[in-house]
Amino acid sequence: MDKASLEAEKAHAEKEISQLESRQKILLNRIRKEERNARTSRLCRHGAILEGVFPAVLDADGEAIKEFLIALSRLPGAGEVAEKTLSAEDAG
């Protein structure tokens, strides 16, 4: 092989590398988008459940809801109920 053909092969390989790197970026962005969409969906579902169980939170701001949930978590037996409920959900 002469120098010109080696240079052409090198240029072709570099172009391929660039294309693959671009493809990798596109795929990583797609993965991140799917993860964001899944998180957004989960947050919406959980928020809807919270509003359904505690309609009073509809008019509350985020800080008030946080304080409410912290107060609930400090009630006697709350930790055990949460653990029992969530572990039963994982098993079934």
Domain count, the chain: 2
Q: Are residues 6 and 48 in the same domain?
A: yes
Q: Are residues 84 and 46 in the same domain?
A: no
Digit-coded pLDDT (tens) for 62-91:
999 999 999 999 999 998 998 998 887 776
Q: How far is CA 19 from CA 9, 23, 39, 41, in A?
A: 15, 6, 30, 33
Report residue 1 CA to chain centroid gap.
52
Q: Are residues 38 and 78 in the same domain?
A: no
Domain that holds residue 16: 1-53
- Burial (CB < 10 A; 0-12, 13-18, 19+), residue 39, is exposed
Q: Are residues 34 and 74 in the same domain?
A: no
Residue showing tokens 């919270």: 50
Digit-coded pLDDT (tens) for 10-42:
999 999 999 999 999 999 999 999 999 999 999
Q: Are residues 45 and 63 in the same domain?
A: no
